[in-house]
Amino acid sequence: MNKPEAKTQDPIKKISYIGVGANLNNPHSQVQNAISLLAELPDTQLVQSSSLYQSSPMGPENQPDYVNAVVKLETQLAAFSLLRELQKIENAQGRIRNSERWGPRILDLDILLYNDEIISEPELTIPHYGMRQRNFVLIPLFEIEPTLMLPQEQPLAALLDTVNTSGIRKL
């Protein structure tokens, strides 16, 4: 089966927002290190990163709190190439993939948005499938891009009114 995009690089720069989270092995350092590595991606520039936020875990509550951030990138990488680069960073920092949904993580990097594109493939969904319900995504995203319009003309600011903001604090 062919991927929806054959090129790994697009001469037109795209704006992408990446969710960064960790709750194992010194999560504060894991997130900061990941942000530094995102700035070194090929054909990519780190435009802005949010503050770090501490948030309660989703799913199983018997795990440490998370440290989260959102990063804005300008990239020539195609969406699937960007995904592969993010997975390389996760693997380099020791991420172990298992079947536990919302379990503890050394590092989690998610493509939240990629321009105004909508992608629905087994290995990549953009906009990220859960971002509209997650305070640990919406709050840092709003911090760096308060006037952002999501695909299908939905204002980011309107989503903030729909999420519970308890259990999250700026570090």
Is 15 among the domain residues? yes
44 touches 73 (CB < 8 A)? yes
Catalytic, 10? Answer no
pLDDT at res. 132: 86
Please give the single-letter amino acid code of residue 83: L
Which CATH number belongs to the domain containing residue 88 in this structure? 3.30.70.560
Is 136 among the domain residues? yes
| Beta bridge partners of residue 44, listed in sequence order | 75
The pair of three-digit structure tokens given for residue 139, joined into one six-digit string: 């709050």
How far are the Cα atoms of 42, 68, 69, 79, 111 from residue 156, in angstroms, in the given order?
Answer: 29, 18, 16, 21, 16
Is 127 among the domain residues? yes
**Cα angle value 101/107/110 (rounded, 5°):** 70
Is 1 among the domain residues? no
5 touches 79 (CB < 8 A)? yes
Is 3 among the domain residues? no
Catalytic residue from among 95, 97, 101, 169: 95
pLDDT at res. 2: 44
What are the pLDDT digits (tens) for 7-16?
556 678 999 9
pLDDT at res. 6: 47
Catalytic, 161? Answer no
The pair of three-digit structure tokens given for residue 103, joined into one six-digit string: 């379990």
Catalytic, 108? Answer yes
Catalytic residue from among 105, 116, 132, 169: 105
92 touches 49 (CB < 8 A)? no
Q: How many domains does the chain have?
A: 1
Is 165 among the domain residues? yes
Catalytic residue from among 108, 116, 132, 134: 108
**More reliable by pLDDT, 37 or 130:** 37
What are the pLDDT digits (tens) for 81-128?
999 999 999 999 987 766 556 668 899 999 999 999 999 999 999 999
Is 61 among the domain residues? yes
What are the pLDDT digits (tens) for 27-60?
999 999 999 999 999 999 999 999 999 999 887 7
Catalytic, 169? Answer no
88 touches 54 (CB < 8 A)? no
What is the rounded distance in angstroms from the CA atom of residue 133 to the CA atom of residue 159?
8
- Its domain, for residue 156, covers 9-170
* HSE toward the beta carbon, residue 24, CA cutoff 13 A: 14
